[in-house]
Amino acid sequence: MRRFVGVVLLAGLWAGCAWAQSPGALDSDARGWIDLLSDKSLRGWTRVAVPPSAKLGEESQWKLNAASGNLICNGDKTGHEMLRYDREFANFIFHAEFRFTKLEGDAKYNSGIYARNNADGSIWHQAQVGSSSGGFIFGNTMVSGSVQRVNLRDQVKENRVRPAGEWNSFEIRAEGRKITLWVNGAVTSEFDQCEVPRGYVALEAEGFRIEFRNLKLKELP
């Protein structure tokens, strides 16, 4: 009897895990998406220093691979910066896939995917990206009319981020006051008190080589 109960409980746990899985918005419906990398010259993207008071490196860390069409940040450590798409959006889903170039040793990989930033990046909402880590929302955002730091790391109950060298899929859904992060099949973080109604999407360069593909955005009503 005890063994039977254990099997039933285990089956229930597996059923719960399966239920928690959800397809991404891009896979669910491929219609209506904007390809943010359609211009192979990267026209329409702007480098922004992080923080805004810092100086940008003279050489860009960003380039498109002619063969694959993927966007590569070479991570040459010339400076902390973001690459911002030059159009503001209010309600949308931002789909991005990425992988770090694997390094020898225990490297602390770091990058981010942004939504509803202001133009100079002093207000930002980031989906944290690491190697086998991250998957939560944090940022400098408006709270009761003033800029404050918000960090939702404690919301992450399961690490869904794959290690360096493997592709990951993130989707940020911004709708009204809610920003939701979906990572590789499940929602991992949700911020439901966003006071910033619209802004820019962007990608972060923070000293590690990282490759992006399928940068697509769908506007929501």
142-185 per-position pLDDT tens digit: 999 999 999 999 999 999 999 999 999 999 999 999 999 999 99
Q: Confirm whether 14 is domain-assigned.
A: no
Q: pLDDT averaged over the chain?
A: 90
Question: How many angstroms separate the CA atoms of 123 and 140, rounded?
Answer: 5
Domain hosting residue 74, numbered range? 23-219
Q: Confirm whether 109 is domain-assigned.
A: yes
User: pLDDT (tens digit, 9 = 90+) per residue, 26-78?
Assistant: 999 999 999 999 999 999 999 999 999 999 998 999 999 999 999 999 987 77
Q: With cut-offs at 50, 70 and 90, classify the pLDDT of residue 20.
A: low
Q: Confirm whether 11 is domain-assigned.
A: no
Q: Confirm whether 64 is domain-assigned.
A: yes
Q: Confirm whether 2 is domain-assigned.
A: no
How far CA 34 is from CA of 26, 127, 161, in Å, comes to 11, 20, 25
Contact 74, 191 (CB under 8 A): no
Q: Confirm whether 166 is domain-assigned.
A: yes
Contact 81, 49 (CB under 8 A): yes
Contact 24, 168 (CB under 8 A): no
* CA proximity to 160, closest of 138, 139, 140, 131: 131
Position 17 scores a pLDDT of: 39
State the total domains in the chain: 1
Question: How many angstroms separate the CA atoms of 24 and 194, rounded?
Answer: 22
**Overall pTM > 0.95:** no
Q: Confirm whether 18 is domain-assigned.
A: no
Q: Confirm whether 157 is domain-assigned.
A: yes
Question: How many angstroms separate the CA atoms of 91 and 217, rounded?
Answer: 10
What CATH number corresponds to the domain at position 215?
A: 2.60.120.560
